Each structure stands twice: as structure tokens, then as C-alpha cells.
Structure 1
Amino acid sequence: MKRALEKACPSCGRRVALEATACACGARWVASQPTGPEFRVPRVGMPVAAVSVIALTILIEAILLAHEAYVSPFVWAEAIGSTLVYLARFFVPVLLVAAYLAYRGSRQAQRAPDRYGGGRLARAGLVAALLLLAVHAGVFLTRAPRLIENRRIRQEAATRANLYRLAWAIEAYRQQYGTYPRRLIDLQEMDPHLKPAVDAWGREFVYSTISGDVAAAAPMPFQRYQLVSKGPDGILGTADDIVLRDDVLLSGGGSGTR
């Protein structure tokens, strides 16, 4: 505390009172000491951080896109589009953060230019982030129909796989008990660890069976059991139903192929 109320003589280094104007060595102060720094360096943390993130994003995406174009020279446009859609889930949040940092940096530079700098850098970073976001959004919109179709195909394939898995369990039940199960839950008598199968839309399959005598007398193709997925619309009896009769897969009640 005492040293805070003293100052050092610039000539001999002796400690004297803070308000003293002369020292015992004969030196004198001709002006008061400055209370703070004469020049403040403006802060540019947010603009620099935003531009750094954007530059790193551009570099990573450029490397990945160049690799995709190199390994797929004949379908490079398709490969680049698919890669951009895939990368969007990772880099869009990063670009949003970078845009926010650039916006904050620009606002700070406008409101307090003596304390914050890098206004032009922040505005350039904001424009770059918005352009990259627009590119990702444009690619996603152009590929959205294909993405939806691919998702539908994957869901139907997963549903067919579950249907065949259930059909195998039903046949195993018949071989063990001599008859088809009345309900799908009866399959757990054969295997208590068997989980109820659902289609790709999270709905349970509709199961029905008829007696062996009726099935033997029925015209081809005969039916001993039937498994039905209600399809994407969740309504039974519509064109998007996926039907499995015995080991024959049908779609919407149409003709099936083995």
C-alpha cells in the first residue's frame, strides 16, 4: 500500500512521495506521470475468429470436394453435390457461429471504434459466411427430391428385410408346433428373446392366417399366412402397402415375384 503512494526518481531511483516534485538528488519533475497508456490497441478478436473459422471451413470443404471429383471423374457433379449435402450437417452450424461472430464484431466496431477494430474484416467474414450458407442451401434444395426418394427406397428395403425375418420365424414356429401362430406375439413362445418386428415407419405388421384345409382348396397362389406393412401413409389397403404372402412379396395387392 505504501509503495502505491510513492514513485521512483528517474535519476537516482530513490522512492519519494507520489505528490513530490523534487528529489534529494536534485532531480525535478516537470510534468505529472500519465495515468494510463497513451494509445489503446483496438480489439479484433471476434472478426479474426470469424474469418479464421470461415477460411478453415473453405479449406476443408475444398480438399474433400477435390478428392471426390478426383475419385469420381465421370460423375463429379453428382459426387460433389452429395458431398456438399453430407457436409452441410457439420459445417452449417459452424458457419452460423462464424456469421454471428462476424456480425457481433461489425456491430462493436461501429459502436465503439476506439475500443474495437476490424470492422471491414468482420463485414467481409459475414458476407463470406452468408455466401457459403447460400451455396449449401441451394445444393440441398436441388437435391431434396432425390434425397426423399432415396430415403423411401431405404425404408422399403428395411421393411422387406423385416418381413422376411418374420416369415422365417413363422415357418420355424410351424415346423415346431405343426401350425401357424394365431398372433405374432405367439412367436415368443418359441423364442422369448424375439422382439416384435415393426416396419421402417415404426408400425407393427398386420398378420393374418387361414387354416390348412382352406389354403389347400384355395386357387393359386394359395395363402397360409399374410404379413402387411401399411406403408408410408399408415393406412391399410392402399397402394403403398407392402404385402408378404407365404414367401411371395407383393406391393399394394399386386402380383408378386419370388
Structure 2
Amino acid sequence: MQKEKGFTLLELLVVIVILSLIAALVIPRITGRVDEAKIETTKVQLKELKRALEMYKLDNGMYPTTEQGLKALVEKPKTPPEPKKWKKYLDSVPKDGWGNDFVYISPAEKHPFELKSKGPDGELGTEDDISVWDEN
């Protein structure tokens, strides 16, 4: 009499349970790192945009207006006030870590301009917004 080779249902269930436990431990750690990476990427992009805006001001004596927006760093604005010594400051306007446009307002209340990301939830005015003026 030959004994059939293979796994029993119980053995398969044990393997599935073990894999599920491993996944339950590993996946949250991986996804947490992804969120952290998106936040750090967004902060770096904000700093680069701020540097480009500072260069724009040095060359032209003013920041782009809210209406001109960050696009003024890529192509010369056609809406007044037109910059006198405009240069191309960026190849393209980046998006934040979640694929959303940055919010740019100039002039702003507390700073010469406001530059921020809406953060992970994609909604402006919530506690997860990331501002270029945050000290983190």
C-alpha cells in the first residue's frame, strides 16, 4: 500500500495562519515607512520651492503673486506685475508626496508668502498640513 504525498488541510491552515501573523506584523511597519518617506519628500520639495522663490525675489524684487502661482518659476508670468529679470528657476513644478499641487499664497498673513502641502488627507486647513515655515 502506497501512502500519498501531500499536505493535510490542517497543515495548510497552520501555514496560512502563520503567514497571516507575519503579514500583520510586517505590513504596518512598511506602510508607516512609506508615509514617513512621503512626508520627508514633501518637506524637501517645499525647501527647494522656497529656494526658487527666494531666487525669483532676488532677481525681480518681488515674489510671484498668488494669481501667478508657482508656475512663475517655470515660465515667465504674463499677468501683472511682470518680472523684469525673469529666469527659469525650475524645470517643472513638483507635486507633494501624495500627488497633489502645493498651495501658494502671496502675500500671506505672517510671512511674505505661504507655501504648504495639504498633507496625507489632501484637505487644506487640517492638522496634517505641512508648511514650508514649520520648523521640522
TM-score bracket for this pair, using the shorter chain length? 0.7 to 0.9
**Of 21, 29, 36, which residue of structure 2 is paired with 1:138?**
21
Count of paired positions:
121
Which structure features the higher share of helix residues?
1
1:195 to 2:80 alignment: no
**Of 106, 115, 126, which residue of structure 2 is paired with 1:227?**
115
Calculate the aligned-residue CA RMSD, in Å: 2.8
TM-score by length of 2: 0.74
Structure 1 runs not aligned, ≥5 long: 1-117, 250-256
Change (3 A) 1:132 1:226: same
| SS in structure 2 of the partner of residue 159 of structure 1 | helix
Residue pairs, 1:104-253, within 5 angstroms = 120-121=4-5, 123-124=6-7, 131-182=14-65, 183-189=69-75, 190-191=87-88, 194-210=91-107, 222-244=110-132, 248-249=133-134
**What is the CA deviation profile of residues 182-240 of structure 1, one whole-angstrom value per residue up to 9, with x for unaligned ones?**
21001013327611111111000000111xxxx8xx7xxx4101111111111100011
Contact 2:52 2:90 in 1 (8 A): no
Contact 2:56 2:89 in 1 (8 A): no
| SS in structure 2 of the partner of residue 151 of structure 1 | helix
Give the letter for the 1:120 counterpart: E
Contact 2:52 2:89 in 1 (8 A): no
**What is the CA deviation profile of residues 67-93 of structure 1, one whole-angstrom value per residue up to 9, with x for unaligned ones?**
xxxxxxxxxxxxxxxxxxxxxxxxxxx
Greater RCO, 1 or 2 (C-alpha within 8 Å, sep 6+): 2
Change (3 A) 1:173 1:126: farther
